[in-house]
A and B are shown apart, each in its own frame.
Chain A
C-alpha cells in the first residue's frame, strides 16, 4: 500500500512538477539561477555584489549617453535657454532635451551597441569547427548496412551497436551544447542511455554513457525518474534535483552505495516506438531514455518555460538531437524490453 502511494506521488511529481507548468515559483528560481547569471555574462549566483555589477553596467551606459548632453548644456557654447536651470526633476530635464541632444544620445548608444554586435558576430563561429560530427559519422559508417534487431538482453548487444550508440551520445552532447551556447565538459558532464533489461520493464540499466560503453548493473526501474518519464512518454527536464522538493533522492542509483549526484539538472528524452493495436489505435512504447546531466541548476530552462506545460527547451532539444535519436531508436527497437506509455 505504501509502495503504491509512493509510486503515485512520484508520478504526480513528474507529471505536475517536472513536466507541468511551473508558474511563479519556477519563474523566480529560473531567473535567479539561470537568467540572471547570464544577464551578467558570467556564472555567478544571485547576490548583492552581482546586482551591483549589473547596476554599474547600466549606469555606465547612461553616463556615456549623458556626457555629450552635459557638455552642451554646461559648456561655454551653451545658449541661455540650454543653460536655464530646471526645477530639479528628471522629467523636467528630459522635456528640455532638443533634437540635437537626442541625436547625441542615439549616437552614443549606437556606438556602444555596434561594438557589442561586432563582438557577437566574431563569436558566432565558435561551434562551426571542432564538432564531433566526423567522429560520429566514422563510427556510424562501420555499422552493418542492415541493422539487425537488438537481442532480448542488452548485455548481448554487439560491440558495433554499443559504439554506435556511444557515438550518438557524443553527438547529442554537442547538439545540446550548441543550444546552451557552451559545450564544455563542465556544463554537460555526461549523457547516458538507459534501457529496460526485462520484458516486464521492472529493471533499468545504463546501456552506455559518453565515457563508458559497458552496461552497468540493472536497478529497480521505479527508483529512477527516467522510469516515470518513460511512462509518460514526453521530453522533460528536472531543473534542480537538489531543491529538496523532489520525492526522488538526489543519489546515484546505477552504482552501489548512497552517492550524492554531482549533477543538479537533467534533461530526459524518451525513445518511443509505436504500433497499431487490433482496433487500429496507435499504442506507444518507450524502449529507452536518454539523460543529459549538468551540474548547474536550471540548465535546461529558458525564460518563458514557466508558462508552458511542455518545456520549450526540451522540445527544441528533441528536434536538435533527432538525427542521433533516430539511430538509437533504430538500434534499440524492436525489443521486447519496453514500457507501454500511459494514455
Chain B
C-alpha cells in the first residue's frame, strides 16, 4: 500500500486533505495509508495557507498595535 501511496500525486493528496480535514488526514499518515513525506508536506502547505492573516487583522495590528491572534 505504501508503494501505491507513493504514486499518489500531491494534487490528489491536497484534494483529500480538503475533503476529510486535517485530523483524519494525520490519522491516515500515522497509519501508513498516506505517504508520510508527501502527506506532511501537503499538510504544512495547507497550514501555511491557513495562517495567512486577513487584511483587517493586519491593519488592526499595524495601526493599533493590538494583536488579535497568532501570526
Contacts and interface: CB of A to CB of B under 8 A. Distances in A.
Contact of A304 (B23, B27, B31, B54): B54
Contacts of A310: 21
A302 B57 contact: yes
A38 B67 CA distance: 7
A93 B56 CA distance: 28
Say which size band chain B's interface belongs to: 20 to 34
Contact of B30 (A54, A269, A315, A329): A329
B21 A235 contact: yes
Interface in B19-62: 20-24, 26-28, 30-31, 33, 43-44, 46-47, 50-51, 53-54, 56-57, 60, 62
A30 B31 CA distance: 37
A146 interface: no
A282 B4 CA distance: 13
B64 interface: yes
A178 B61 CA distance: 17
B64 to A, nearest CB: 6
Interface string A30-47: 000011001111000000
Given A180-B69, A304-B57, A57 B64 contact: yes
B10 interface: no
B69 A272 contact: no
Interface residues of A, number: 47
B30 A282 contact: no
B30 A326 contact: yes
Given A274-B33, A275-B31, A316-B51, A284 B24 contact: yes
A282 B70 contact: no
B6 to A, nearest CB: 15
Contact of B60 (A39, A120, A275, A284): A39
27 contacts: A34-B68, A38-B69, A39-B64, A41-B65, A41-B66, A120-B65, A179-B70, A180-B69, A181-B69, A181-B70, A233-B24, A234-B22, A235-B22, A269-B23, A272-B23, A273-B27, A274-B31, A276-B1, A302-B53, A304-B56, A304-B57, A310-B21, A315-B47, A316-B50, A329-B27, A329-B30, A341-B24
